[in-house]
With several copies, the nearest count.
Chain A
Amino acid sequence: MIELDGVAHSYGGTELFSDVSLSMGQGSFHFLTGPSGAGKTTLLKLCYGELQPRSGDVRLFGESRRKMGRNDLARARQRIGVVHQDCQFLDHLPVRENVALPLIASQRPVPEGDLDDLLGWVGLSAQADALPPTLSGGERQRAALARAVMTSPEVLLADEPTGNLDWDMSVRLLSLLIELNRMGTAVLIATHDLNLIRTAKSQISARVLRIAGRRMQLAGADL
């Protein structure tokens, strides 16, 4: 559904990575690791079209990113769920509406029952009517994940979704993602937490990618 084809990127100066290829098909599950500053977030931004690749091609649902207009991009994003590393919310709306925001923004109906279930699963039922600035770090991450999966997206991109979470909660969220993946969603998780990757690999067949030194390679055996 999302394909990267010989992609390179740089922010002005030196190249972050070059010749990266990746294909996320239906039901695929990828982990992305690498040292801090390697370019994991950058790669994810390429995947949901926030950045244009310097060279190579990115295709979202078969359409080349270069050929997409602003409204095409908006439509593609309605099919992708993203958990950003810095979970940003609309601070004036309660958590509940923030989680439903992708539906509100694309003027789709909000299934209140599903919304309640989801908030319960990520442990935010008590905070449903709180404003985002009053959330704890972990609660923000859980709300961001809830927002990303709210639309039952075809692709889910999660950037460090468990950085501020304790182990039990991390595993709980991981199981939610695995559940989604089993229902067909393509999942890509960028994380530093090797334990999380190990736990996931024991339940499903996930591919682990590693960016380091301007290249991306498959890492598997060493985990």
Chain B
Amino acid sequence: MSGAAPEPRETQKTGDRRAARTVRDRRATQVVPGSGQSAWLTLLTAAAMAFLCVFALALALAADRLADRWQAALAQTATVRIAAPAGQIEEQTAIVLEVLATTPGVQSARVIGEDEQAALLEPWFGPDLPMDALTLPRLVEVIEAPGGVDSMGLRLRLAAEAPGAILDDHTRWRRPLIEGAARLRLLALASIGLIGGVTAAMVTLAAMAALATNARVIAVLRLVGARDSFIARAFVRRFTLRTLIGAAAGVALGMVALWAMPAAQDGAGLLTGIGLRGIEWLYPLAIPPVAALVAWAATRVAAFRVLREVT
């Protein structure tokens, strides 16, 4: 930015030069009036947008987490259901476990006990279901290794070796849920993009409005021999700072609001899952610098466009 700025005439040590630079920056800022309302406008815009952005980010992260959970809970597990006459159940179960043990991609397999099975049925039949009186199929839970299992191959092997065993890889259940989570995540990311775009547009417009308001100041400065970079620096510095402060305030407010929200309950996980966890609390901290960068670029472009119209 200051590549073309004239260096002070005397040779100085680097420390002095930095001090001189700061003084020059302050001087450059002072030649532009503070302009009360438009300063607040920029601050408020940045704060409001950062606040909304924190929420959109939390939503995206929650959607992400949800998708991951479903991925983990459903995509990585499968069930083998063994329905056979009472006498053959034990035998076929043993065969199935053997087959699974030699199938690549299967991390572990485990027979679901009667208690667990009763728990699964509870919603529909109540806790006092007479398990003894029922001839339920045996269920084997298969936990897949990260790579996943070749379902088709496994299905064929099972059909050959244990005719009563049927593999259910939960595809039916998985697809709509994964799709739903992906769509929610997309929505959240789109809002972040929208918020970012609108923020950039608003900061640009606010900067251009400020520059238009200060057209006379710019003309006077050019007339007394100020360089473009000197004039631009004043505006750019001010708008970047304002956006940074506004965004920081908005992020802080947003994080406090998120933190104050009731903790997530598993009962309605999706709805109350909006919130940040662990390392995620650091993510919103990226918003103010990014916003400041956007403001810096926007103001610079706006400033040089306005300056080009002044001789």
Contacts and interface: CB of A to CB of B under 8 A. Distances in A.
**Chains A and B touch each other in the complex, with CB atoms below 8 Å apart:** yes
Given A93-B30, A104-B27, A105-B31, A88 B227 contact: no
Contacts of A88: 216, 219-220, 223
Contacts of B222: 74, 77
Interface string A13-41: 00000000000000000000000000000
Instruction: Say which size band chain B's interface belongs to.
Output: 20 to 34
Contacts of B226: 74, 105-106
A127 interface: no
Contacts of A106: 6, 224-227
Given A105-B226, A106-B224, 18 more contacts: A71-B4, A71-B227, A73-B311, A74-B226, A77-B222, A77-B223, A78-B225, A88-B216, A88-B219, A88-B220, A89-B220, A92-B34, A93-B30, A101-B31, A106-B6, A106-B225, A107-B24, A107-B27
A49 B222 CA distance: 11
A102 B228 contact: no
B230 interface: yes
B311 A105 contact: no
B225 A102 contact: yes
Contacts of B31: 90, 93, 101, 104-105
Most A Cβ at <10 Å: residue of B27, B30, B228, B311 = B311
Contact of A50 (B24, B30, B223, B224): B223
B33 interface: yes
B223 A82 contact: yes
Contacts of B306: none
A90 B217 contact: yes
Contact of B311 (A50, A78, A84): A50
Nearest to A108: B9
Contacts of A104: 27, 31
Nearest to B8: A107
B221 interface: yes
A77 B224 contact: yes
A204 interface: no
Contacts of A50: 223, 311
A96 interface: no
Interface string A63-101: 000000011011111101010100011111100000001
Contacts of A91: 33
27 contacts: A49-B311, A50-B223, A50-B311, A51-B311, A70-B227, A71-B227, A73-B311, A74-B225, A74-B226, A74-B228, A75-B225, A77-B222, A77-B225, A80-B225, A82-B223, A84-B223, A88-B220, A90-B31, A91-B33, A92-B33, A104-B31, A106-B6, A106-B226, A106-B227, A107-B6, A107-B27, A107-B230
A61 to B, nearest CB: 13
A104 B23 CA distance: 11
A132 to B, nearest CB: 10
A142 interface: no
Instruction: Say which size band chain A's interface belongs to.
Output: 20 to 34
Contacts of A78: 225
Interface of A: 48-51, 70-71, 73-78, 80, 82, 84, 88-93, 101-102, 104-107, 147
Nearest to B217: A90
B224 A101 contact: yes
B228 A70 contact: yes
Contacts of B8: 107
A102 B227 CA distance: 11
A105 B33 contact: no
Nearest to B10: A109
Nearest to B214: A90
Contacts of B230: 105, 107
Nearest to B33: A92
Those 9 A-B pairs whose CB atoms lie nearest each other, nearest first: A105-B226, A77-B225, A92-B33, A78-B225, A102-B224, A74-B227, A50-B311, A88-B220, A105-B224
A18 B4 CA distance: 38
A91 B224 CA distance: 15
Nearest to A89: B220
A37 B306 CA distance: 29
Interface in B223-261: 223-228, 230
Contacts of B223: 48, 50, 77, 82, 84, 88
Nearest to A70: B228
A75 B225 CA distance: 6
B150 to A, nearest CB: 69
Nearest to A102: B224
